[in-house]
C-alpha cells in the first residue's frame, strides 16, 4: 500500500484568514490557498484546482499504460480537467469533473482508442474516488501507420 500526504494550514479564520497547502513531495510548500484563489481570481491554488490536476494526471497516466499494453510507444496525450464547484444550500459541493483530451497516437483506430480512454476514465484511482459526474471528450490525431 502506498500512502501520500498533504497538509493545509489556516492562520486566522474565514475570509480574513491566510491559508496554505504543502505536499509530501515538496512540490507545493506553503503554497497560498484561500478564499481569493477559490472564489475569485486571486493568486494561489485551491482544492478544486488540485483535484483537477490530480484527475487529469491520473487519467492520462492510466491511458498511457493502456496504450503501452497495446504495443504503442509513440504519441502524446494532453488532458485538461475542469472541476466544478457549485453552491448547495449553505455550502458548496464538487458536482463534476470534465476531462478533455487531445491525443496524437499513430497506429490506433478511433473505436479502439475510445474504448481504452473510456476504461481509463472509469478506472483511474482518482475517478473512482470522485463521487461526481465525470464528463469526457477527446480528439484523436492518428497518423497513418
Predicted confidence (pLDDT) per residue in 43-59, tens digit:
888 889 999 999 999 99
Question: How high is the pLDDT of residue 143?
Answer: 61
Q: Where in the chain is the domain with CATH 3.30.300.20?
A: 47-141
- The residue among 88, 89, 86, 113 whose CA lies nearest residue 97 is 86
Tell me the mean pLDDT in the region 118-125.
96
- What's the grid cell of residue 74? 509513440
Q: Mapping DSSP to helix (H, G, I), strand (E, B) and coil, where does residue 65 land?
A: helix
Q: 1 vs 80, which has greater pLDDT?
A: 80
Inter-residue contact 100 to 79 (CB < 8 Å): yes
CATH number 3.30.300.20 is the correct assignment for the domain at 47-141: yes
pTM of this prediction? 0.86
Amino acid at each position: 500500500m502506498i500512502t501520500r500526504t498533504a497538509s493545509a494550514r489556516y492562520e486566522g479564520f474565514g475570509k480574513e484568514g491566510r491559508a496554505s497547502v504543502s505536499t509530501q513531495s515538496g512540490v507545493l510548500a506553503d503554497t497560498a490557498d484561500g478564499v481569493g484563489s477559490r472564489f475569485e481570481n486571486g493568486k494561489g491554488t485551491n482544492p478544486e484546482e488540485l483535484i483537477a490536476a490530480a484527475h487529469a494526471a491520473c487519467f492520462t497516466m492510466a491511458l498511457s499504460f493502456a496504450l503501452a499494453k497495446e504495443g504503442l510507444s509513440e504519441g502524446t496525450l494532453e488532458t485538461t480537467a475542469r472541476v466544478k464547484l457549485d453552491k448547495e444550500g449553505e455550502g458548496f459541493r464538487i458536482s463534476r469533473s470534465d476531462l478533455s483530451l487531445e491525443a496524437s497516437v499513430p497506429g490506433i483506430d478511433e473505436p479502439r482508442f475510445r474504448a481504452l480512454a473510456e476504461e481509463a476514465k472509469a478506472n483511474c484511482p482518482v475517478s473512482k474516488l470522485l463521487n461526481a459526474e465525470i464528463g469526457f471528450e477527446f480528439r484523436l490525431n492518428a497518423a497513418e501507420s
